[in-house]
Amino acid sequence: MGEKQPQDYAHIDIDPVILTPEGKVVLAKRKPDVFEGGRWHLPGGRLMVGERLEEAMKRLAKMKTGFEIRLLTGSLTGDLVGVYDDPARDAREHVIALAYLCGITGGEEQPGHNVSEVNAFDREELAELDIAFDHRQMVEDVFRKLGQS
């Protein structure tokens, strides 16, 4: 038997699609000095080893937006917006993203961790924004899921 070769593995991002009570989508603007700087994105990021998906969403949302969140219906299956696995979706490396519908349960808007601004946008406002990665597709998938296509 031959010697095993090291392998590269894809990374996993968790992207909470946070909806306000008015149905707006919360986005975070990336600081200018980071990858995709100056563009808006869903306040997500990497799943840590040993971390559950919902814990990751809560951690990332709090860290980037100041908001405390929960899954919209409480079900990972029911709140799944989609799985995004295009190897080119992030130019730095192969990252598979899982997007979930979430609602705000507390906290206050407070940009943090590579984020300069946090704001909530309706569908018309979203159409005018410069959105990073494939997060525009995720947001459109949310509107389809909610029957607003």
Q: What is the DSSP string of 70-102?
A: EESSS-TTTTEEEEE--TTSSTTS-EEEEEEEE
What dihedral do alpha carbons 29, 8, 10, 56 form, nearest 10°? Answer: -70
Q: Which of 51, 68, 117, 125 is catalytic?
A: 117
Instruction: Give CA separation, 32 vs 39, 119, 146, in Å.
Output: 8, 17, 33
- Among this protein's residues, is 51 annotated catalytic? no
Half-sphere exposure of 118 (CA within 13 A, CB side): 23
Q: Which residues are catalytic?
A: 117
